Structure 1
Amino acid sequence: MSTVTRYESMGEQVVLVTGATRGIGKQIAAQLTEFGATVYAGARDTVDITADNQHPVELDVADDETIKQAIDQIATEAGRLDVLVNNAGVAGPRAPLHENETADIDTTLDVNLRGPAVLTKFALPFLLERSGGRVVNVSSGMGALGEGMSGTYPPYRISKAGLNGLTVYLHGEYAEDGLIANAACPGWVRTDLGSSEAPKSPAEGADTPVWLATFRPGSTAGRFWRNRELIDW
């Protein structure tokens, strides 16, 4: 059973969304902007952020220096950070693990797991300045241990299972300090990663992460969600 109360507006709140140039990330940034938040849209190349009501910020989650610079920019310009949405991700190699190149495994883990962990590390001092700071990790059912791991994209599956682990850790370590950390499975979405055959639009895929980003203090945290419903790890 879950307890959810939400902000009706996010005016004066500041959000950082990674991988905001296309697909689910672009929709998350757009929907939170419509919700009244000040949105910093993370991109490896800021010219790819075309929305004039968002704040482009150079951010490559595989590059520690751009991570630190992005957080410094937000701290200088906005003076606060209320929500971090770890959305940036790559599919990685599809073949069974024994056929993967080690460099491809490293890249997938760097972007999908190490990047969110390091970015969250630098964001936490700001997220903890006031009760109710949120971390939303955009995960995947492909990383759910209970749903089985056989099939394709082994580094992707492993990285998303690790991202779920990061979510549980953040809840266990910082919930008493007021942090609300949750993971979201957006489902199979029509993106470059998900393919044109997927049943969900990017806007539909963004719905649950955006919903989690609007949680008020006291809402359920440390859990895994799909279609606004709790699912098993």
Structure 2
Amino acid sequence: MTVVVVTGGTRGIGRGLVRSFLDLGASVVYCGRSLPPDGPSEALGVVADVTNRADVRKLWDAAVEKYGKVDIWVNNAGLSTSRKPLWELDAAEIDAVVDVNLRGTLQASAVVLEAMLAQGHGALWNMEGLGSNGQIVAGLTPYGATKRGLTYASLALAKELKGTPVRVALLSPGMVVTDLLTRDYTPAELEKAKKIFNILADRVETVTPWLARKVLAGTRNGGRVAWLTTPKAAYRFATAGFRRRDLFGAA
């Protein structure tokens, strides 16, 4: 049985991935800085902060103690700042986003890759986001910068792992309706933004089963699995006049 660890698995895309991996028959361990009372009983939840190497080791050890190995690790934990110009952001808010999205992912990757090399196999997946492909959006400078840096780091790690039984790959969920996507809009701004979201975005329950299947199928070292590709986005814009989508109505 495949053993999967998902960081930031208590909400949003991470929670969706946990559910999807379980539905596909994997054994799943997930973490969060706190655990919700309604977490899936079939999965093992661990309180852990990914910016702390000791906590990452605790999460790895908990998975190995219960299941004997870790086949796949998904670095999903992430934060975004308020949607403001950089100079209007509090220093602590900037630090928190950089700590989780970049520093935390690097520290977690260091622990996980060392352990995977020692066990002789494994695949580490890092979650991309806005900025990974060079797209620039005003008001999301720290978030985009961390995701751009994370893509570089992942590809560099793939080079460092060349010739080993361990792989690093990138997971790109596209535009997904979560609190990270919709936060800090005024009601008028959100109504305007929904026009684009209803063309390009998808719900968590639509995207995460597909992502989970692709992760379990695997890819080459340094590969990428992307839900919203450029041709797919172009098709959606081209057909938007014929397709009525409302991602913010009843599911």
TM exceeds 0.5? yes
Task: Please name the residue that 1:3 is paired with.
Answer: none
The whole-number CA distance in structure 2 between the counterparts of 1:215 and 1:182 is 12
The one-letter amino acid of 1:157's match is G
Alignment of 1:100-115 (within 5 A): 100-115=89-104
Alignment of 1:77-116 (within 5 A): 77-116=66-105
Shift of 1:54: 0.6
The whole-number CA distance in structure 1 between the counterparts of 2:113 and 2:2 is 15
Check 1:130–1:63 CA distance in 2 against 1; reply closer, same or farther (3 A cut).
Answer: closer
Task: Please name the residue that 1:4 is paired with.
Answer: none
The whole-number CA distance in structure 2 between the counterparts of 1:79 and 1:114 is 28
The whole-number CA distance in structure 1 between the counterparts of 2:129 and 2:112 is 23
Match of 2:179 among 179, 189, 192: 192
Shift of 1:186: 1.0
Shift of 1:65: 3.2
Match of 2:203 among 196, 201, 204: 201
Cα-Cα RMSD? 2.3
Q: Does 205-214 or 186-195 show the bigger shift?
A: 205-214
The whole-number CA distance in structure 1 between the counterparts of 2:37 and 2:126 is 22
Task: Please name the residue that 1:169 is paired with.
Answer: 156
Check 1:127–1:49 CA distance in 2 against 1; reply closer, same or farther (3 A cut).
Answer: farther
The whole-number CA distance in structure 1 between the counterparts of 2:38 and 2:113 is 25
Q: Is the 8 A contact 2:154 2:169 kept in 1?
A: yes
Q: Is the 8 A contact 1:185 1:225 kept in 2?
A: yes
Task: Please name the residue that 2:216 is paired with.
Answer: 214
Task: Please name the residue that 2:124 is paired with.
Answer: 135
Q: Is the 8 A contact 2:10 2:36 kept in 1?
A: no
The whole-number CA distance in structure 1 between the counterparts of 2:167 and 2:229 is 16
The whole-number CA distance in structure 1 between the counterparts of 2:112 and 2:22 is 20
Q: What per-residue deviation string (whole Å, max 9, x for no partner) do you get for residues 126-166 of structure 1? A: 323234x2111111143322x3x242210000110111112
Say which one has the larger Rg.
2
Alignment of 1:1-233 (within 5 A): 12-48=1-37, 50-128=39-117, 129-131=119-121, 133-145=122-134, 147=135, 149-195=136-182, 197=194, 198=197, 199-207=201-209, 209-216=211-218, 219-227=219-227
Q: Is the 8 A contact 2:174 2:228 kept in 1?
A: no
Check 1:208–1:174 CA distance in 2 against 1; reply closer, same or farther (3 A cut).
Answer: farther
Moved over 4 A (4+): 228-231
The one-letter amino acid of 1:66's match is D
* Count of matched residue pairs: 215
Shift of 1:125: 3.1
Shift of 1:64: 3.4
Shift of 1:203: 2.1
State percent identity of aligned pairs: 26
Q: What per-residue deviation string (whole Å, max 9, x for no partner) do you get for residues 32-59 of structure 1? A: 1122211001121234452111111112
The whole-number CA distance in structure 2 between the counterparts of 1:157 and 1:103 is 17
Q: Name the structure with the higher helix share.
A: 2
Check 1:141–1:185 CA distance in 2 against 1; reply closer, same or farther (3 A cut).
Answer: farther
Q: Is the 8 A contact 1:59 1:67 kept in 2?
A: yes
Check 1:202–1:44 CA distance in 2 against 1; reply closer, same or farther (3 A cut).
Answer: same
Give SS of 2:179's match: coil
Q: Does 220-229 or 88-97 show the bigger shift?
A: 220-229
Give SS of 1:56's match: strand
Q: Which runs of 5+ in 1 are unaligned?
A: 1-11
Shift of 1:228: 7.4
